[in-house]
Structure 1
Amino acid sequence: MPPRALLPSYRRLFAAPGTVAFTLAGLLGRLAMSMSGVSLVMLLTERRGSYALAGTVAAAGLVTGAVGLPLFGRLVDRYGQARVAVPAALYVSVPLAALLLCVRLGAPNWTLPLCWAAGAAAPNLGGMARARWAHLYRDDPAARHLANSLEQSLDELCFMSGPVLGMLLCTTFVPEAGLLTAWALGTTGALLFAAQRRTEPPLAEPEGAEPEGTGPHAGSPLRVPGLRVLALTFLATGMIFGSTEITTVAYADALGHKPAAGLLLGLVAGGSCVAGLLFGLLTPRRAPGVRFLAGVAAMAGVLLLPLAAGLGGVGLVPLGAALFAAGTATAPTMVTGMTLIQDLLPQRQLNEGMAVAVSGIVVGISAGAALAGAVAEHTAPGTGYALPAGAAALALLIGLAGRRRLLDGDRRENPAPAVSAPV
């Protein structure tokens, strides 16, 4: 696919007024989120000299985020994006300021996880952006597919550039610079995003009979069987991300090139970003449930490449190629998973449903990182790549076991065949 074909194909998304504004504002918020983790580690290792403390504080934030994301999603579905995002963005500055003061003033270590956990749960701007696309193009499945592909590629772009920017700020200026910049970008992005009222989805009113588990008083969207399958699959996918990151750092360190780990991980995100953009140009010809299972199967296949490279003790260049190839299956799977959520759930539960999926990923990242750290401590370099390969196989087994639930969602929606713009 020639690069010049990308621009006209994605340009059609921005024909609707206000789409450029909320996309750019959401991008600022996601960049801030991707900077926060490495900025926190740099701050605490520099000011307190402890990687263990940094890991504990980060883990506290992951737990709070995993619990808080669906709760914020439910509030957004009930009260609207702007009414939740604005006070939440302003509130986050309080625990962040408390954290920086505790670090600066030498407060006891136990205060730091409390501060970080108090500010870790925030509205999911990526999910809210996808909800806007789903509303704007609710009658155009091809455009929704294109929009979900764009959003996934933007996610990957942020996770490539955010850690690099955070580390650069912390090492060039002061250790606090990364978190302060992340706070400024995140607050600005959330407020600008909330200000785009004309693209905000209206609050959905109950309309007649709904499928079981999706009525006006249905409670958690996890009552929808298909979403439970997706949440478990995303949890396994998060384990892929967490274990790949730790294993790659350990492998590069064993070869005496630890700084190169950031570049290697950037190749994973780069492969996913490119694949996401190209995947958006394809005309969806099969139901989302079928495409999702195919994506998970492809992910399980390509993740054998880093495992083979790691066990073979190859250098950084072949490993980088294997990691880039492994990343190409991630975006299509995530894109189709988000499309499935939009098909399975009514609009009034869309933000909460996508937040549940993201929470599954967050929990998986934490579990995968912990497992990979233990494996790296006690086994030869490269052995840890068995973890992402195993997690991908687990995701495939979960998807196959719940395939009837996923395909039931396809049959219930039964969208008309879409015609995409010429590519």
Structure 2
Amino acid sequence: MSPRTVFSPYARLFAVPGSVAFSFAGWVARLPIPMLGLGAVLLVAGETGSYGLAGAVSGTLALSFSIASPQWARAMDRRGQGAVLRVAMTGYLLCGYGFVAAVTAGGPLWTWFALAALCGASGPNIGSLVRARWAEALAEPGRRQTAFALEAVVDEVVFVVGPPLVTLLATLLAPPVGFLTGITLGAIGGLWLARQHATEPAVSPPDPGGPSRRWAALNATVLVVAVTYAAVGTVFGAMDVVVVGFADEQGAPALAGLALAVYAFGSLVAGLLYGVARLPGTLAARFLVTAVAFGVAAQLLWGVGSLAVLVPAGFLAGTAIAPVLVSGTSLVESRVPRTALTEALSWTTTGLTLGVTAGSALAGAAVDAWGAEAAFAVPAGAAAAAALVALAGAPLLRSRPVPVPAA
């Protein structure tokens, strides 16, 4: 497949007025996703020496985000993205700076957890907001798949750029700098997106004869995808902690960010190809196949014994990430009405972040108890669970897509 064949469909997406601005603002606003989780691990571990405590604090931040982000999304479906985003981003910035101040000043441990929770709860799911804008602008399902693949690639670029950046800032300058940089970039991107009113999805009243918005956003398909994504997120949360601990054991802590970036780069490459491929089968079948592939690919992590092995194994395992995320997002988008789409997409990300919470905590405890090399069992086992959950939920995916109105 030539580069022109791969990139032409993506270039055509940006003929949509305003798409360059909202997609780039969404990318900047998503930079905190890997920076805050990893930044919290580096900050707390640097202050206390405990990866278990670091994983618990990082997991608290992710857990509060997962609970609050669908509530922000529901408010945006009802009132529009701009006004709600401005409120959320203000709280996000203040709580993030407060968390760093509490840790570096040696405040009581409960304040660390409380401020981490408030910081996470202030963060709406930016990816779902950008995907909702693409869904509003594009009527053709094939172009929406390409747009969702583009956003999955943007997510992976975030994970390519974020971990090395936060690791270098935290290790070469000071541990708080990485976390603070992530919070600042996230607020800048979120406030920039809030100003772009022309591309916001239209706010429309719910259909009186249809299901309530809440139940439309939490139908069987959304639940299956969200629970599968919870297992996928467990892999992500565990990888952050285990790779940092493993690089530290190997005497090269600064290489943790590079290893995580290579893992994300494998997903980026696969996402670009998946977005332009015209694959056979239904959206549900593609989701099941990609979930199984994700579960199988991550078993490579059992063989990691050095950084030289981790990098190629991580790249190969990473190639299965974007396809399962894109296929799950496309499936949800086809089964949910526009009036509840932002919230439905946020619930899938809630699954991811709940998994990140569990993965961070489990991996932190495993690193402390077993050592980092043995702790790779946590992400490998979680990936296998993702495949099993998707297969178990297959009977619930037998429903008809929701008709999509013309853009």
TM-score, length basis structure 1:
0.87
Counterpart check, 1:277 vs 2:272? yes
1:328 counterpart = 2:329: no
Q: Following TM superposition, by how much is the alpha carbon of 1:280 offset from its aligned partner in structure 2, in angstroms?
A: 0.7
Q: CA, structure 1 residues 173+390, in 2 after alignment: closer, same or farther (shift >3 Å)? A: closer
Q: Hey, what does 2:25 align to over in structure 1?
A: 25
1:372 shift after superposition: 3.0
Superposition map of 1:95-244 within 5 A: 95-103=95-103, 105-121=105-121, 122-137=123-138, 139-207=139-207, 209-210=209-210, 215=211, 217-221=212-216, 223-244=218-239
Look up the match of 1:260. Answer: 255
What is the alpha-carbon distance in structure 1 between the residues aligned to residue 14 and residue 361 of structure 2? 41
Please, which moves more after superposition, 67-76 or 102-111?
Answer: 102-111
Code of the residue aligned with 2:20 in structure 1: it is V
The AA in structure 2 aligned to 1:399 is A
For the pair shown, the structure with the greater C-alpha radius of gyration is 1
Kept in 2, the 8 Å contact 1:222–1:228? The answer is no
Code of the aligned partner of 2:146: L
Whole-angstrom CA distance in 2 between matches of 1:365 and 1:46: 21
Which residue number in structure 2 is paired with residue 370 of structure 1? Answer: 361
Alignment correspondent of 1:298: 293
The verdict on how the C-alpha distance between 1:344 and 1:396 changes in structure 2, with shifts beyond 3 A counting, is same
Deviation at 1:369, TM superposition (A): 2.9
Which stretches in structure 2 are left out of the alignment for 5+ residues? none
Name 2:39's counterpart in structure 1.
Answer: 39
Aligned to 2:339: 348
Q: Which residue in 2 is equivalent to 1:421? A: none
CA RMSD in angstroms, aligned pairs only? 2.6
1:228: how far off? 1.2
**Mapped partners of 1:342, 1:336: distance in 2:** 10
Question: Secondary structure of the residue that 2:147 maps to in structure 1?
Answer: helix
Return structure 1 stretches of 4+ with deviation > 6 angstroms: none
Distance 1:220 1:390, change over 3 A: same
What is the rounded CA distance, in whole Å, between the counterparts of 2:175 and 2:240 in structure 1?
Answer: 22
CA contact (8 A) 2:249 2:372 kept: yes
* Matches of 1:170 and 1:258, distance apart in 2: 11
Quick one: structure 1 residues 186 and 250, their matched pair in 2 at CA, closer, same or farther if it must change by over 3 Å? Answer: closer
One-letter amino acid matched to 2:329: M
Instruction: Name the residue aligned to 1:388.
Output: 379
What secondary structure is seen at the aligned counterpart in 1 of 2:214? coil
Task: Establish whether residue 406 from structure 1 lines up as the match of residue 407 from structure 2.
Answer: no
Preserved contact between residue 85 and residue 191 of structure 2 (Cα < 8 Å):
yes
Q: Aligned pair in 2 of structure 1 residues 257, 367: CA closer, same or farther (>3 Å)?
A: same
Structure 1 unaligned blocks of 5 or more: 416-423
Distance 1:306 1:253 in 2: 17
What do the CA deviations read for 1:283-335 (whole angstroms, capped 9, x no partner)?
A: 2432210100010111122222222x23xx4x433332222111111100100
Q: CA deviation at 1:354?
A: 1.3
Tell me how far 1:185 sits from its aligned partner.
Answer: 1.5
Letter in 1 for 2:188: T
Give the distance between the partners of 1:201 and 1:364, measured in 2 at CA. Answer: 29
- Which amino acid in 2 is paired with 1:37? G
Kept after mapping to 1: 8 A contact 2:35/2:182: yes
Q: Which amino acid aligns with 1:245?
A: D
Q: How many Å apart are 1:378 and its aligned residue? A: 4.4
**Secondary structure in 2 matching 1:202:** coil
What is the CA–CA distance in structure 1 between the aligned matches of 2:293 and 2:59, rounded to whole Å? 30
Query: 1:290 touches 1:407 (CA, 8 Å); kept in 2?
Result: no
**Matched letter for residue 290 of structure 1:** A
Query: Which letter maps to 1:19?
Result: S
> What are the Cα deviations for residues 70-126 of structure 1, in whole angstroms up to 9, with x where unaligned?
111111111111121011112223323433443455433322221221121211111
Q: Measure, in 2, the Cα distance between the counterparts of 1:245 and 1:93.
A: 23
From the superposition, tell whether residues 171 and 130 of structure 1 become closer, same or farther in structure 2 (CA, over 3 Å): same
**What letter corresponds to residue 327 of structure 1 in structure 2?**
G
Residue deviations 1:22-49 (CA, integer Å, cap 9, x gap)? 0111111111333223333444455566
Q: Deviations for 1:234-276, whole angstroms, at most 9, x for unmatched residues?
A: 1111122223333444444454444433322222111001100
Letter in 2 for 1:304: Q
What residue in structure 2 maps to residue 287 of structure 1?
282
8 Å Cα contact 1:289-1:406 kept in structure 2: yes
Give 1:224's aligned amino acid: N
Q: Tell me the matched-pair count.
A: 404
